[in-house]
Structure 1
């Protein structure tokens, strides 16, 4: 099952993102369920959130993955949406 995780950073939380980036990137690689991932950017190119496509068994697995992301544990996100997604192209 493909799940799009769309997370928006809390305002002014860039340093939290930078401080936890290495752990987050390692988590993406180690878990083996990330199909695609990258930061959301503002008009100036600054990182303001994350878009991650997970390939997991079900929504419960996506919720568990999201809760254990180092960014989430560090309190980076103002919001996180998990949305079932169907790849067409």
Structure 2
């Protein structure tokens, strides 16, 4: 099952994001093929990150929740909110 992990940064947290970015990217890299897509949400200026979205393959919601909680961004307190939603990759799924 695929899950979308949708994270919104706290306001004025740009420095915290920059300070933990390398640890976050290493964490995502270590998840391997479980990560189907990942990247930041952007502000209207198209340069400032305002959150993160991961599409991950997990057996259940609890596994997706664990990933979200283990993310260095989460551990550093970057996120204002985290939403986990089951997701169906219907269009342009390379595995179908």
TM over 0.5: yes
Partner of 2:28: 28
Query: What does residue range 73-84 of structure 1 map to in structure 2 within 5 Å?
Result: 73-84=75-86
RMSD over aligned Cα atoms: 0.6
User: Where do 4+ consecutive residues of structure 1 move more than 3 Å?
Assistant: none
TM-score by length of 2: 0.90
Gaps of 5+ in 1: none
Paired residue total: 89
Q: Distance in 2 between matches of 1:10 and 1:84?
A: 24
* Deviations 1:32-54 (CA, angstroms, capped at 9, x unpaired): 22110000001001100001101
Larger Rg: 2
TM-score by length of 1: 0.97
